[in-house]
Structures are given as C-alpha cells and as structure tokens.
Amino acid sequence: MTNPIKKVSRLSRVEPYQTKDRSEIRELMHPDVQGNQRQSLAQASVPAGAKTLLHRHAITEELYFIQSGRGEMTLADETFPVEAGDTICIPPGIAHCIENSADTELLLLCCCSPAYSHEDTEILV
C-alpha cells in the first residue's frame, strides 16, 4: 500500500528554509513531506535589492509565477524585467537567477518537475 497524500498544506504552518541559490522558500507541496510524486510547489521570497545565485538544474524544469514585486530574470544570456502576474519557464540545464529590483519583497511561486532537490542544483558563481 502506498503512503496517503496530504492534500492540504497551509502556508502559515510551513517553516521557511534557504535553498542553495540563497532564496528563502516555503515548500507548499513536496514528495518528501506530503507524498505527492512528480513535482513540488514552493513560495520563494527575495528581499529588496537581493539576487539569487546563478544556478541550473540538470533534470528539473521550473515554472516561476511572480506573485508580488518586480525584478530582473536571467535565463542563459538573456536578462529581462518581470513583475507580478508574469510566469517564466526555466528548462532543465539553463543557467538562471532572479534579482529583486524593487524596494519591497519579491514573492514568487516555484513549481518544479521533478520535485526540487539540492542535489539537482548546481551553483555557477
């Protein structure tokens, strides 16, 4: 028999932690905690003026959905502005980082498939 899936994760009850790229995240749904199988969903925050480390994932595809704030997204050799309401697709193997260019916190949802792991994160700086 497989483990039952916890179908609800409440943001206010999820403890934040720092990922290898130095963003602070709250894992809203992850196989290691809730028992789902193929993806993870986290809320990341980047403080005003801060930037995540340039990194890539060998096998993970990511989707970033900007909830609030604005910043500069770097994908490979391209940098472009992002703001609340934007969604960015980050294919596996593509170097990326995000910088908060506002004076308020940048909040984004990050969906990873397969689920996020430190082992699949390679820091490039």
- The total of other beta-carbon atoms located within 10 Å of residue 71's CB is 23
Q: What is the pLDDT of residue 12?
A: 80
| CATH number listed for the domain at residues 18-123 | 2.60.120.10
* Per-residue model confidence as pLDDT tens digits over 73-112: 999 999 999 999 999 999 999 999 999 999 999 999 999 9
Q: What's the mean pLDDT in 112-118?
A: 92
pLDDT band for 3, please (50, 70, 90 cuts): low
pLDDT, tens digit (0-9, with 9 covering 90-100), for 7-34: 777 888 888 888 888 888 888 888 777 7
pLDDT on residue 5:
63
